[in-house]
Amino acid sequence: MVQQQDGLACGRAMSARAPILVDDITCDAGFAAHREIVCSAGVRAVHSTSLLGRDGTVLGVLSTHFRNPHQLSRRQLQRLEPHVRAAAERIERCLPA
């Protein structure tokens, strides 16, 4: 089981078991303690979603980082969903029984 590390997008996605969209990290309270480092790495927006097993166990988190403030559309999120499910299924098949 993956453990939540902090209030960044990855940790929030794990806790919520739902996509977390941060359109601009400079305006997001969860990034306050890490904002300088994240911005210096060239990241301004992030989308994180948990990879869930069939039993609801969090297997990991898939994150996409953007160089500029960015908002994903509903259509883009819908197009990502089958790929997220497929990744979770493949990871789950590789886990020991």
pLDDT tens, N- to C-terminus, the chain (97 residues): 444 456 799 999 999 999 999 999 999 999 999 999 999 999 999 999 999 999 999 999 999 999 999 999 999 999 999 999 999 999 999 988 7
At residue 37, the 3 state secondary structure works out as helix
Domain ranges across the chain: 9-94
Distance from C-alpha of 52 to C-alpha of 18, rounded to nearest angstrom:
10
Provide the whole-model pTM.
Answer: 0.84
- Residue 91 contacts residue 50 (beta carbons within 8 Å): no
- Residue 17 contacts residue 52 (beta carbons within 8 Å): yes
Q: According to the model, what pLDDT value does residue 68 have?
A: 97
At residue 29, the 3 state secondary structure works out as helix
Distance from C-alpha of 26 to C-alpha of 56, rounded to nearest angstrom:
32
Superfamily of domain 9-94: GAF domain (3.30.450.40)
